[in-house]
Amino acid sequence: MAPTKGSSKGGPSKGASDGGSKGSKTSTVSGGSRVSKSKSNVKRPPPKEMKKKARTEQANLQKKKKRVYTDAELDLPKLNAITPVGVVKPKGKKKGKVFVDDQEGMMTILAMVNAEKEGQIESKMMKARQLEEIREAKRKEAEARLTEKKDKLEAVKADIRQKKREKSGKGNSDDRKSAPSSGKSSAKGKRKSVSFA
């Protein structure tokens, strides 16, 4: 429909009139009766005259305020401004070195290191001492065993000697004498003789 300066009220009536005009041609368009109002029924304010504004009017000349969108709205990334001292970047830390140049920092680190070291040394020393102790203990044990064995041997020897003495003591004193001597000689006789070719 060509735009007409008419109120919107004329719309339906126009539509109706169109339908009516159509109906006059062909009576089969709509069976129902249309409530069509004639244009004259609709009340419309009288068409106003709209003056065209001057090209160089003040309102035109003044810049129109454009809408300012904030950064957040536009989804721009935030600028890297200088962060004041002490403020730590919250997430995604920048790659950088933290220098230790002040007295306290160094002392702290030093203390830590010292402690570690001393701990190590202590443990080493302890281990060494322990090892030493163990070795000492082992040695002592070995010694003890040796002495034990020796004692045993001595005891056995003493036993034999005593027995021999008793036996011969009952018999003759000569026998006693001879017995040990014979014992000796027999022992000598039993001795192996090595001959060198």
Partner 1 sequence: MRALDETETRTMFTKLASYTGASLSNLIAPPAEGTAVTERMVFRLVKDRVFYLPERIANFATSIPRDSLLTAGTMIGKFTKTGKFRLNMSSLSIIAPHARVKCWVKSNGEMPILYGSNVLKAHVARWSEDAPEHSGCVIFNQNDTPLGFGVTARSTAEMRKLEPTAVVVFAQADVGMYLRDEDTMFTT
User: Is there binding between residue 98 and partner 1 (CB under 8 A)?
Assistant: yes
Q: Nearest distance from residue 137's CB to partner 1, in Å?
A: 15
Query: Could you identify the residue written with the tokens 């290191």?
Result: 113
> Binding to partner 1 by residue 97, rule CB under 8 A?
yes
> Cβ contacts of residue 83 below 8 Å, gap of 6+?
89
* Residues in region 102-141 near partner 1 by CB under 8 A: 103, 105-107, 109-114, 116-118, 121, 124-125, 128, 132
Give 23's contacts (C-beta < 8 A, 6+ positions apart).
29, 30, 34
CB of 103 to partner 1, least distance (A): 6
Contact region with partner 1 (CB under 8 A), list: 20-28, 29-37, 95-103, 183-191:
95-103
Stretch of 78-86, 101-109, 154-162, 182-190 lying at the interface with partner 1 (CB under 8 A): 101-109
Q: Which phi-psi region, left, alpha or beta, contains residue 75 (left: φ > 0; alpha: ψ -120 to 50)?
A: left
Number of residues that bind partner 1 (CB under 8 A): 23
Residue with smaller CB distance to partner 1, 71 or 116: 116
CA dihedral 33, 38, 39, 44 (to 10 degrees): -90
Residue 129 or 163: which CB sits closer to partner 1? 129
Closest approach, Cβ 71 to partner 1, in A, equals 36
For residues 129 and 135, the answer to whether their CB atoms sit within 8 Å is no
Measure the CA–CA gap between 188 and 185, rounded to whole angstroms.
Answer: 5
Q: How far is the CB of 108 from partner 1 (least distance, A)?
A: 10
- Closest CA relative to residue 167, chosen from 180, 156, 154, 155: 180
The residue ranges that bind partner 1 (CB under 8 A) are 97-101, 103, 105-107, 109-114, 116-118, 121, 124-125, 128, 132
